[in-house]
Amino acid sequence: MTTTRTLILALALLLCGCASTSSGPENVLVVVNEKNPDSVVVGDYYAAKRNVARMFICRIQCTSDETIKQDLYEKTIRDPIRSYLIKNNLRDQIDYIVLTRGVPIRTSDHWGVDSALTCLFQDKPAQMHNPYYNAQGPFSHREYNMYLVTRLDGLTLYDAKALVDRSLTARPEKGLFLLDIDPKFDKGGPGYKMVNDWMRSAAEILRERRLEVELDESPSFIVRTKLMGYYGWGYHDQKYKEEEYQRLRFMPGSIAETAVSSSASTLTANRPKGAVLSWISDLVAQGVTGVKGYVWEPYTDALADAGILFDRYTSGRNLAESFYAASKYVHWRDMVIGDPLCAPYAKQK
């Protein structure tokens, strides 16, 4: 039966002289930087794979540098997206904004571009409480007055496009959920022990759902393959070795988080020379489908709560809902990489 919403949308398309050729999602806005060829390719690729109609693609023109001055962010990214949503009567219809490779990741004031855009119509240039934090139900812009923003990005154009393919082939696999605690942080103060306790809570939830879980509480840095979920301390782990971190392997539909403040300070191979760090862009190259990172120091309470993250995801919420429900702040320094609609554990209709 045709819904009232569908009839209204169809009428709006006719009135604006457009016609939707898509049966795909009508609550996702894809943002493409026309000055960056990779951005155009990734945006078109996602739109084709997800059947996103042309009217749900917002084309902007901005620098391709990872850092953009605050005033230029407002002029070339924030304001054009605002205007596009208003002009096309999409402000209250869109729930998810998907940024593409080639859109800057942070402003000169150290805000994450992705996180700032969650509060697109709220002129409050400061860290804000996330109204969707710890929510159980589905997300909608109308209810929470914000957007869930993710991006399709990675070390290479291939990696960015692969995120789309992994999302579409994701299934509720019986892969391993690896939770790699470092016991030294139990003695590092409540802010650090909290992260270990999140992993312990996640392990209990996943075991109750009869999913395969490995909760490691030894000082060792654990490497596994065929992962559906991963949470660890990255290079902060006392036994961390970069070559071992790069041996982690993931299955389609997998998600990950690392307790590393610099994990998304760059998504490129242009990294500080000689620095021993761990990057989420490596995890994308190693097969992860969704991952959270930080463009600047977020502090531990801004990390995704592992218990909430894996609970929501394995109960059927999509990738974006799971990461944002697990995160306390918006307009902060967070970044979520992946297709927001990926939901391998959702009940099949």
Write out residues in the chain with pLDDT < 50, as ranges. Answer: 1-22
Q: How far apart are CA 102 and CA 66, in angstroms?
A: 8
Q: What was the pLDDT predicted at 23?
A: 53
pLDDT value, residue 12: 42
Residue 300 DSSP SS3: helix
Q: What is the CATH number of domain 171-329?
A: 3.40.50
pLDDT for position 4: 43
DSSP-derived 3-state class of residue 277:
coil
Domain parsing of the chain, residue ranges: 24-165, 171-329
Look up residue 302 and give its DSSP letter.
G
Distance (Å, whole) CA 101 – CA 32: 8
Angle at alpha carbon of residue 326, lines to 239 and 52, rounded to 5°: 110
pTM recorded for the entire structure: 0.93
| pLDDT value for 153 | 98
Query: What pLDDT score does 8 carry?
Result: 41
